[in-house]
Chain A
Amino acid sequence: MANVELALKEATTVIEGAIGAALVDYTSGMALGTLGGGKDLDLTVAAAGNTDVVRAKVRTMEMLGLNDEIEDILITLGSQYHLIRLLRSRGSQGLFLYLALDKQRANLAMARHQLKKIEAELEV
């Protein structure tokens, strides 16, 4: 029964290589909470911008007629991973968890697994 701040704290401390995390409402682009980031990565801007990524993918799936849900989206940069995990089981609001990872230090498979666990805790 974690709250937003706890979930983000867990994401940035438990997950190896985490640079910052945000919980984002992807209709409005508002970050409901952010942690970490810093001057090199403005999480509020990243939150707003990545809503376009999510909405584009949702639309594409509709076009393809794929009757499925997005679990996560991975964006690989030269030095970072950006991981977007969509929260299900929310009737009224589309939310996603956004996690930026240092590519050198992160274990991607582990990070995805841990993010899934944090999502579950946030929703219980």
Chain B
Amino acid sequence: MTAGTAATGAVSPLLTRLAEERATGALLRDRGTLFLEDGRIVHAESPATPGLEILLTAGGGLTRERWREAVDRAGARREVARFLVDSGGLAGGELEICHLAAIFDAAFFALSPGSGPSRFRRGATHWIGSVRPVPAEAVERETVRRRELLDAVWPYPLLDTAPVVPREAAPGQTVTLRQRALLRAADGVRTPAALAWALGRPAFHTLLDVRRLAAAGLVETPREPAPAPAPAALPAWMTQAQPPDVALLRRLRDALEASL
């Protein structure tokens, strides 16, 4: 491991090293995969996030048929992104913005602390092709910022995985259009991840909206699970301090002094 790895206080030491090596391939973790090209991140996906297809089609910028056509016709040569733009199905700016959103969203989950060990498959590429590479360092920095932001808004991580239960607004309390759409879709069963899929929004954005709504009292904050039962108490003779054995200490002192 090189010296630079420690300096960044990295989210993933392996990712930092691969970026330094300008590696190309896929970094696989339990909660997602990052694709690198020359050490820069060119794509990311995670089972926890809706992904590029959903983000592009939910906004109405692209039809599902167009997407499927692009995957069918350009997937094998790994140029889906270029095909979408060149065929006039999608504006370059729109693709780039949604693609960046998808990368940072998937990376947030892929690089989360509980995402398990990392493996790297050297040389692996993704069929989406090239859009706009992002420095690995920028992705790591943003991932850390996002973690801190969630806890700054409302430090209850249980909200991220529990079903979202709306609460009645206080008199005069208003929510934004986006939040209203989220609350309407929250049926007491869907988790934030399920809501992200249903609304076609990035999963992190949904986590953040749910935390904001919970902070405003518009979503129930789940209680901490009951603390685990206290372990059986140890017998007193193991835990209570014993009076020092004065006779033993005297003998030790005498022996030490005798050897001086």
Contact = CB atoms under 8 A, between A and B. Distances in A.
Contact of B93 (A4, A63, A93): A4
Contacts of B93: 1-4, 7, 121-124
Chain A binding surface SS class: mixed
B38 to A, nearest CB: 18
Interface string A31-66: 010000000000000001000000100110011000
A63 B55 contact: no
A30 B143 CA distance: 10
Interface residues of A, number: 29
Given A28-B149, A91-B59, A92-B55, A62 B97 contact: no
Interface residues of B, number: 34
B51 interface: no
Nearest to B173: A63
Interface string A1-26: 11111010000000000000001010
B91 A124 contact: yes
B23 interface: no
Contact of B208 (A1, A28, A63): A28
A92 B174 contact: no
B92 A30 contact: no
Interface string A66-89: 000000000000000000000000
A55 B176 contact: yes
Contacts of A7: 93
Contacts of A25: 101
B98 A92 contact: yes
Interface of A: 1-5, 7, 23, 25, 27-30, 32, 48, 55, 58-59, 62-63, 90-95, 121-124
26 contacts: A1-B85, A2-B93, A3-B93, A3-B132, A5-B132, A7-B93, A27-B209, A28-B202, A28-B204, A28-B208, A30-B146, A32-B97, A48-B145, A59-B174, A63-B172, A63-B174, A91-B58, A91-B61, A91-B200, A92-B200, A92-B201, A92-B202, A93-B101, A123-B91, A123-B94, A124-B91
